[in-house]
């Protein structure tokens, strides 16, 4: 296949198809073959693997995925790209293209319908940045069947979701993601390898979804809300955030809970790791 993700080829595809790049769809096309290979290598795709790709664009990543995976199920929102992708991959029966907004997709249902003969499911994507977090949450929260995700995202978001306590990047999102998955920033990607170049640098993140989780699934939304409330005012102490929250406990109850867990009354939320947040959530009775 003529290599899709080279500068020359991307320019050709844009010109030949009189394609107008849609910023509102977060379209930043990769133009570096080495980068594409590096991303796909780090996904460790085997012949029994089913891959879900979000936003194939012109198919730059897709062309490397179809050669390795058993099946590639791709979701693209831009209808102008659908016929281009269909003709590009006409000789690849393992490629399944669906014209749909990924946020409308019932992930486990489509896995059951299209990828049930695959031994493991991996998500690989150069994400549309305007919906990085909702896409991430959708896969991490709703799918029992996905093993790992290898995602290009804004460097800043990558730093947050892999952030450790006591660093400036650590916030509620770090805790929520690290509760759901083991997250690792693999490498940084400069903005210059995209057409058009985004305003920020990017990074590749590897997320391995945890098979067993601490909480029963019904409690998870409450835990996530609790964590967000603890970070509402970053400059304030955890205690002050709790008092200002709508969690409905008295100052004494918060103090007793913090003290019983050995958390200083002047501690800040960014000092606590996921395990401590879970302990505090249990301590406060889980119905906060």
Q: Reading across the β-sheet that carries 95-99, which strands appear in turn?
A: 95-99, 71-76, 49-54, 120-126, 146-154, 202-209, 181-189
- Could you give the angle at the alpha carbon of 54 between the alpha carbons of 11 and 222, nearest 5°? 145
Among 43, 65, 85, 102, binds ligand SAM (CB under 6 A): 102
Contact between 77 and ligand SAM (CB under 6 A)?
Answer: yes
Contact between 27 and ligand SAM (CB under 6 A)?
Answer: yes
57/163 with CB nearer ligand SAM: 57
Instruction: Tell me the chain's radius of gyration from C-alpha atoms.
Output: 21
Structure tokens at 266: 């002047």
- How far apart, in whole angstroms, are the C-alpha atoms of residue 107 and residue 196? 30
Contact between 55 and ligand SAM (CB under 6 A)?
Answer: yes
Nearest distance in Å: CB 48, ligand SAM:
23
- Write the interaction track for ligand SAM spanning residues 106-135; mark x where CB under 6 A is met and - where it is not: --------------------x-x--x----
55/163 with CB nearer ligand SAM: 55
Binding-site size, ligand SAM (CB under 6 A): 23
Measured between alpha carbons, how far is residue 142 from residues 105, 106, 139, 249, 269 in Å?
11, 8, 6, 31, 27
Contact between 30 and ligand SAM (CB under 6 A)?
Answer: yes
- How far apart, in whole angstroms, are the C-alpha atoms of residue 284 and residue 248? 10
Q: Of 165, 287, 276, which is closest to residue 226 (Cα–Cα)?
A: 287
81/279 with CB nearer ligand SAM: 81
> Which stretch, 21-29, 228-236, 238-246, 250-258, contacts ligand SAM (CB under 6 A)?
21-29
Contact between 136 and ligand SAM (CB under 6 A)?
Answer: no
- DSSP-derived 3-state class of residue 103: helix
Among 9, 12, 19, 26, binds ligand SAM (CB under 6 A): 26
The residues binding ligand SAM (CB under 6 A) are: 25-30, 54-57, 60-61, 75-78, 81, 101-103, 126, 128, 131
């Amino acid at each position: 296949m003529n290599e899709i993700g080279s500068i020359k080829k991307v320019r050709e595809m844009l010109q030949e198809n009189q394609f107008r790049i849609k910023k509102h769809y977060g379209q930043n096309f990769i133009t570096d073959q080495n980068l594409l290979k590096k991303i796909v290598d780090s996904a460790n795709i085997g012949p029994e693997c089913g891959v879900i790709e979000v936003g194939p664009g012109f198919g730059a990543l897709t062309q490397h995925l179809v050669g390795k995976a058993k099946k590639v199920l791709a979701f693209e929102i831009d209808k102008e790209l659908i016929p281009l992708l269909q003709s590009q991959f006409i000789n690849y029966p393992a490629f399944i293209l669906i014209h749909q907004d990924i946020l409308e997709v019932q992930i486990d249902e489509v896995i059951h319908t299209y990828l049930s003969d695959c031994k493991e499911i991996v998500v690989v994507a150069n994400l549309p940045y305007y919906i990085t977090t909702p896409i991430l949450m959708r896969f991490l929260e709703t799918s029992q069947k996905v093993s790992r995700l290898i995602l290009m995202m804004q460097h800043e978001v990558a730093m947050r979701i892999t952030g450790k306590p006591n660093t400036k990047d650590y916030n509620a999102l770090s805790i929520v993601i690290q509760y759901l998955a083991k997250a690792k920033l693999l490498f940084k990607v400069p903005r210059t390898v995209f057409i058009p170049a985004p305003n920020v640098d990017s990074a590749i993140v590897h997320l391995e979804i945890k098979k067993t989780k601490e909480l029963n699934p019904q409690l998870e939304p409450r835990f996530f809300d609790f964590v967000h409330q603890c970070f509402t005012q970053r400059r304030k102490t955890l205690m002050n955030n709790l008092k200002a929250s709508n969690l409905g406990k008295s100052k004494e109850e918060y103090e007793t809970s913090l003290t019983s867990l050995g958390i200083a009354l002047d501690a800040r939320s960014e000092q606590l790791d996921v395990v401590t947040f879970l302990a505090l959530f249990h301590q406060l009775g889980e119905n906060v």
